[in-house]
Structure 1
Amino acid sequence: MKKAVLAFSIGIALAGCDDNSVTTKANSDSTQTQTQVQAEVSAASQYQALVESFFKEYLKLEPLDATFIGVNDYNGVFGNNLTEEYLKARHDFNSGYLQQARKIDRSQLPADLQLSYDLFVYDRNMALTAETFPSRFLPMNQFYSTMITMVQLGSGESAQPFATVQDYLNWESRVDGFIEWLALAEQRMQEGMASTVVLPRVLVERMIPQFKAQQVEKVEDSVFYAPIAKLPEDFSEEDKAKLTAQYQSMIKDKLLPAMAKIEQFLSQTYLPAARATDGWWGLPNGKQWYQHLANMHTTTDKSVDEIHQTGLNEVARILSEMDKVRQQVGFDGDLKAFFASLSSESQYFFDERQGLIDGYMQLKDKINAVLPSYFNVKPKADYVVKPVEGFREQSAAGASYEAPAVDGSRPGVFYINTFNLKAQPKWGMTTLSLHEAAPGHHFQIAIKQELTGVPEFQRFSGYTAFEEGWALYAEYLGIEMGLFTDPYQYFGKLSDEMLRAMRLVVDTGLHAKGWSREQAIQYMKDNSPMAESDIVAEVERYMAIPGQALSYKVGQLKILELRAHAEKELGEKFDLKAFHDQILTSGSLPMAVMEQKIERWIASLR
């Protein structure tokens, strides 16, 4: 009995002691929880205020980007990115916001904002590193050019609105800024000549016809006159007459002469000073500059040599797969003969440009029918298929994608280059549509723009490795979707994948290993069935924008690696739709940040 009483007494005593300690501990835990919550709220509010301020200031600094995003506050401003004032403002902008971000305790942010924070800091650091290289001396090339952007905007078929009288006046004002930019671009290229930072000769030769194409005998034939030909019916006759006269004067007396002047400079002054080397290694500090560009575009710290070797390995693997297709279809000849057959026989090509466009529209319906089985989230915006504009079709890539308007007023555009139908084989259509449209670029970019609850900068920033890696992953997904049952269409998938693998070899070869343009062209001819005109345009593109072409394969391999890792870790819990949600619903991410997100997702499901 005493034992029992003693035990009972001790139990009461202990229980009483526990009640006090639990109460004290509960109060302590509650206080700590409240403090933690307050810290998180404080950190989150600081960060959100910071990035909101950043985005507003960014749009003011980059008014052309604002227009494409759908913010119309700066439609009358050009934003001359070659002035000393701009360069200083951009530096102060990035360094200032980086310093402010570092004052925020990242550990106190919720997981989604930690991810956003990492993006923000990554962007600022990369932008500040880029300033150390003299890109201002190379303000244009045949592939990416402010002139091309302004022609597209001025046509009235792009993001620049032409719905009100003020819209028309805004464009006049923006053109004035563009004319000033052309004059400063010439000055910067002259500085580049003095510093031996100039483009390869062949790229200058490609730019000259683009400017010549803008010179027309009649103002009415200029693409910049197109908005006048489409004046809204509700404009008064007085406004119509006034705007028509103003645009005629603007085009004839200011814009065309300014473009003629830069064309003359390119032809007579810049072309003779252009360099004989084809890669970035031929520039001062060129190899270091190229390594930076490779890191920037792939969002990795991979060395150029590692990327080159990965390309060689992938080329060998894909060649083996291509040969299996050759055997499957019973082709009598070796792989090179198979390439020659696929790239020359008339049965593999359209006879008319419109037939090619119509073929892609039919593919759109076929692909859309199977997408619901693989995606929970899909874009609200649609896309249309259009041919590349005539003025740039000779130097443009085979296909490209332009994002839809954020407000839904304009769909995405899947551009097809119809200039050379022999460069657009029927067997390559499925994979190209998957890449450029749905579920490739159109899904990733449109969904990103439509996100809610994330900082604005995150909706509109982009990383080539993520975006192009996703698009190449979308091609791979086509196998699982059952879209490659035709061996020729599967060969098309392999052919496009081969292009991305060759890019690793050729881009690094050109810019770090001393390859010539001709050597790069020959390598691609030896390892693919691509049309020579397409190969030439591709190689010259790599010469113009070094490192960008590396991002496709590097990004795809990383996404596939993360998917395989998630499948292994989660087993039966792995859901492909949910994996795609994780990839697509935070915007465009650097590879390391995306890897962290997938790891957190895996951990949450264990």
Structure 2
Amino acid sequence: MLRPLLLAVALSTLLPGISFAATAPVAVSANAATTSLHRFFDEEWERGLREYPENATANGDTRFNDRWTDQSLDAIHKREAEDRDALARLKAIDRNALSEADRLNYDVYLWDLQRTVERQRFNEWQRPLTQRGGVQTADEIVELMEFRTVKDYEDWLKRLDALPTVLTQTEALMREGVKAGNTPSHVLMERVPAQIRAQLVDDVTKSRFYQPFLKFPDTVPEADRARLRARASELIRQRVIPAYREFATFFDTEYLPKTRTSIAAVDLPDGKAYYDFLAGYFTTTDLTADQIHEIGLKEVARIRGEMEKVKAEVGFKGTMQEFFQYLRTDPRFFKKTPDELFEAYQAVAKRIDPELVKVFRTIPRLPYGVRPIPAASAPDTTTAYYQPGASDGSRAGYYYVNLYKPETRPTWEMVPLSLHEAVPGHHFQFARGLEMQEAPMFRRTAYFVAYGEGWGLYAERLGYDMGLYDDPYDRMGQLAYDMWRAVRLVVDTGMHAKGWSRDRAIEYFMDNSPKTRQDVVNEIDRYISWPGQALGYKIGQMKISELRERSARELGDRFDLRDYDDAVLETGSVPLSVLEKHIDEWIAARKQAPAAAKAR
């Protein structure tokens, strides 16, 4: 899973039906069309960085580190108008005059823009925060900022000075949501007051916003440090904390009582159309909620059968529910302290690294590290997530792990989780994308959920090919994680389209997975706050696995898993239909190549 900060502004998934049939280029206008398209991509990339400064920060572009996204109604409507204008400008470019590569770039951007414009009617800006993040956790952007120069610190001071405005703007959006009946579920918003209160410290130096001033690098002159600390203390004491105190009062007394009791997306304004949109958006298919629900039920049954085999292998004599309870509670599967848990995650990551050559020929150059999820948000977020590296290579990728309540974090989940979030999962996917030097930036940093999370889930199963599942309990962990994503298909559609209650979804999850209740409740609440997103994982994994089986069947002894895995990643993040077309062409090319060419 990607870090929530990025998900708000990253290029995401598209609808199916994109046609990539070759068309004859028009030589006389090819140069003009190509120039126009590339200029359009450059201008839109720049607009995205300028309009969403947090995204620029995440990409390692420091030019806008002194500001936040303008969340005023005027700014939101202006951005929506600019998106509509961008769509018209893109359509005015002669697609037939482009090269094959640029036709693909054109079509990908066109469909993303079309979906962005279509999405405007749902007014998601009226729900500007969730229990997993928002203005109440604005300090977490520090994780993405480099503090090396005086200007870096002064940029942060300007962000601190502007933060009360962001809080005021957010409050205004929430008021609009209340008027429109477009609010988050009450059960989720009950988690937020504690997150806001975490910002109300008595000692300024304990504020998470003050963190960069606790230790300066040698590159910041001693003469500047006292001034910077004093200004930070002043801003946090006189502006930031009072603004959060006012926001807390508004949230507790006005907003929380007016949030909706329903959990279903279909109960939002124009809710059925909204959930239908999200299901297609996140899966890049035209599957209906009912079809996805049935796929999930079948996968749950299949994986359950595999779990029974592992239970028999380890000699456990009880029922599956008793086996799940054993996996959730036996001390052998848990570390005693957050530090021990963190060290174990680091050890698993190092164990994976040397085995990657068994399943890849191409290893990306960008490194990655392991970090704990910030303590303030850890109780309300998932087991782990990945933060991509900076697009210019100035910041490594990071695998964030949840150390909250180590007694709820079983060791049997560490191998599949690390394969998914770090290598060869999300880190390989994003690092390889950044190495597509000839592609426009939006393609190099793209994130389509069905492809990206499908790849992460597929990467968990690569652990078998890498020899990492020699312990049956680690294999049970892989099955548990596969089951986790199959269950998502059932409970997400169940809650948002079929009338399931939150409790029913939690119990279904617990009945079919050994994950702990702490994780299960957080997961279910995530699906409530982020409808449809969880559908992309299993649908994407099933397509990538299907294409692998097709490749092996058609290529026979010419099939090499290393080449297949490289071929999947070399497209960058794309809709599943585009990936399938690419792999079919790759198969055809391998069939025609001389036998000796199968090994590169």
The TM-score, its normalising length taken from structure 2, stands at: 0.91
Deviation at 1:67, TM superposition (A): 1.2
Q: How far is the alpha carbon of 1:41 from its aligned partner? A: 4.3
CA RMSD of aligned residues (A): 1.9
- In structure 2, the residue matched to 1:262 is 247
- Taking the aligned partners of 1:203 and 1:281, their CA distance within structure 2 comes to 17
**How far has the Cα of 1:37 moved from its partner?**
5.2
- What letter corresponds to residue 219 of structure 1 in structure 2? V
Alignment-derived partner of residue 420 in structure 1 = 405
Q: What is the CA-CA distance between 1:389 and the residue it aligns to?
A: 1.5
| Contact 2:352–2:423 under 8 Å retained in 1 | yes
- Tell me the residue number matched to 2:122: 133
- Residues 103 and 259 of structure 1: CA distance in aligned 2, closer, same or farther (over 3 Å): same
Structure 1 residue 469: Cα displacement:
0.5
Q: Partner residue of 2:13?
A: none
How much has 1:536 moved relative to structure 2?
A: 0.7
**Counterparts of 2:410 and 2:373, CA distance in 1:** 17
Offset at 1:101? 2.2
- For 1:59, the equivalent position in structure 2 comes to 49
Bigger CA drift: 128-137 or 161-170?
161-170
SS at match of 1:230: coil
**1:153 and 2:153 correspond:** no
- Does the Cα contact within 8 Å between 2:455 and 2:540 map onto a contact in 1? yes
Work out which of the residue numbers 46, 51, 69 in structure 1 matches 2:59. Answer: 69
- 2:98 corresponds in structure 1 to 109
Partner of 2:112: 123
Paired residues of 1:422 and 1:531 also in contact (CA < 8 A): no
On the 8 A contact 1:76/1:172 being kept in 2, the answer is yes
Tell me if the contact between 2:60 and 2:394 (Cα under 8 Å) persists in the aligned partners.
no
State which of 160, 168, 171 in structure 2 corresponds to 1:183. Answer: 168
Amino acid at match of 2:416: T
Alignment of structure 1 residues 145-224 onto 2, 5 Å: 145-148=134-137, 150-154=138-142, 158-224=143-209
Aligned-partner Cα distance in 2 for 1:178–1:164 = 22
SS at match of 1:384: strand
The sequence identity of aligned pairs, in percent, is 37
2:135·2:167 contact (CA, 8 Å) conserved in 1? no
Judging changes above 3 Å, is the alpha-carbon distance between structure 1 residues 604 and 89 closer, same or farther for their aligned structure 2 residues? farther
Q: Out of 448, 469, 477, which is 2:462 matched to?
A: 477
Q: Take 1:98 and 1:271, find their aligned partners in 2: how far apart are those partners?
A: 37
Displacement of 1:323: 0.6
Aligned match of 2:423: 438
Which structure would you say has the larger RCO, counting Cα contacts within 8 Å and 6 or more residues apart?
A: 2
Match of 1:228 among 213, 234, 243: 213
The answer on 1:355 being equivalent to 2:340 is yes
In structure 2, what is the equivalent of residue 374 of structure 1?
Answer: 359
Task: Tell me how far apart the structure 2 counterparts of residues 579 and 132 of structure 1 sit (CA, whole Å).
Answer: 40
1:403 corresponds in structure 2 to 388
Verify the 8 A CA contact 1:278 1:515 in the aligned structure 2: no
Partner of 1:499: 484
Say which of 325, 335, 348 aligns to 1:340.
325
Is 1:558 the equivalent of 2:543? yes
Q: Which residue of 2 aligns with 1:545?
A: 530
Checking the alignment, whether the CA contact within 8 Å between 1:62 and 1:79 is kept in structure 2 is yes
Structure 1 contact 406–450 (Cα < 8 Å) conserved: no
Tell me how far apart the structure 1 counterparts of residues 515 and 131 of structure 2 sit (CA, whole Å): 21
Q: Which residue of 2 aligns with 1:593?
A: 578
Q: Which residue of 1 aligns with 2:21?
A: none
Which deviations, in whole Å up to 9, do the C-alpha atoms of 1:60-99 show, x marking residues without a partner? 121111111111221112121x323322332233222222
Report if the CA contact (8 A) 2:385-2:399 is conserved: yes
Counterpart amino acid of residue 152 in structure 1: E
Any residues of structure 2 matched to 1:31-50 within 5 Å, and which? 39-50=29-40
Give the secondary structure class of the aligned counterpart of 1:461. coil
Deviation, 1:144, is 3.2
- Name the aligned partner's letter for residue 407 of structure 2: K
Moved more, 45-54 or 305-314: 45-54
Deviations 1:137-158 (A, max 9, x none): 100011132432x21124xxx2
How big is each residue's C-alpha offset from its partner over 1:380-410, in whole Å with a ceiling of 9 and x where there is no partner?
1222222222111111111111112333333
Structure 1 counterpart of 2:504, one-letter code:
Q
Match of 1:27 in 2: none
SS of the residue 1:147 aligns to: helix
8 Å Cα contact 2:135/2:166 also seen in 1? no
Q: Which residue matches 2:450?
A: 465
Structure 2 stretches lacking a partner, 5+ long: 1-23, 593-600
- Tell me by how many angstroms 1:236 deviates: 4.0
What residue in structure 1 maps to residue 72 of structure 2?
83
Q: 1:70 to 1:41 in 2, by over 3 A?
A: same
**Partner-residue secondary structure (3-state), 2:496:** helix
Q: Which amino acid aligns with 1:151?
A: D
Q: Give the SS at the match of 1:385.
A: strand
Mapped partners of 2:106, 2:579: distance in 1: 13
Question: Residues of 1 paired with 2:430 and 2:152: CA distance?
Answer: 27
Q: 1:52 to 1:580 in 2, by over 3 A?
A: same
Q: Give the deviation of 1:40 after TM superposition.
A: 4.2
Which residue is 2:556 aligned to? Answer: 571
Partner of 2:15: none
Q: CA deviation at 1:274?
A: 1.6
* Shift in Å, 1:485: 2.3
Q: Distance in 1 between matches of 2:394 and 2:76?
A: 33
> Could you list the runs of 4 or more consecutive aligned residues of structure 1 that deviate by over 4 angstroms after TM superposition?
34-42
- 3-state SS in 2 of match to 1:127: helix
Shift of residue 238 of structure 1?
A: 4.3
Alpha-carbon distance change, 239 to 365 in structure 1, aligned in 2, over 3 angstroms: closer
5+ residue gaps, structure 1: 1-33
Shift of 1:515: 1.3
Instruction: Kindly indicate whether residue 561 of structure 2 is the aligned counterpart of residue 581 of structure 1.
Output: no
Number of residue equivalences: 568
* CA positional deviation for 1:115: 2.0
Q: 1:196 to 1:330 in 2, by over 3 A?
A: same
The partner residue of 2:228 within 239, 243, 258 is 243
- In structure 2, do the counterparts of structure 1 residues 44 and 418 end up closer, same or farther at CA, with 3 Å as the change threshold? same
Give me the whole-angstrom Cα distance separating, in 2, the residues matched to 1:253 and 1:446: 42
Q: Which amino acid aligns with 2:127?
A: L
The answer as to whether partners of 2:458 and 2:545 remain within 8 angstroms in 1 is yes
**1:258 and 1:375, CA in 2 relative to 1: closer, same or farther beyond 3 A?**
same
Question: 8 Å contact 1:412–1:442 — kept in the other structure?
Answer: yes
* C-alpha separation in 1, matches of 2:293 and 2:127: 26
Structure 1 position 102, deviation (Å): 2.0
> Could you say which residue in structure 1 is the equivalent of 2:596?
none
Query: Contact 1:66–1:72 at 8 Å: present in 2 too?
Result: yes
Counterpart residue type for residue 109 of structure 2? F
Offset at residue 461 of structure 1 (A): 2.3
Please say which of residues 431-440 and 451-460 is displaced more in the overlay. 451-460
Q: Report the CA distance between 1:212 and its aligned residue.
A: 0.6
Contact 1:118 1:593 in 2 (8 A): no
Paired residue secondary structure (1:231):
coil
* Matched AA of 2:572: G
Report the Cα distance in structure 2 between the residues aligned to 1:92 and 1:116, rounded to whole angstroms: 23
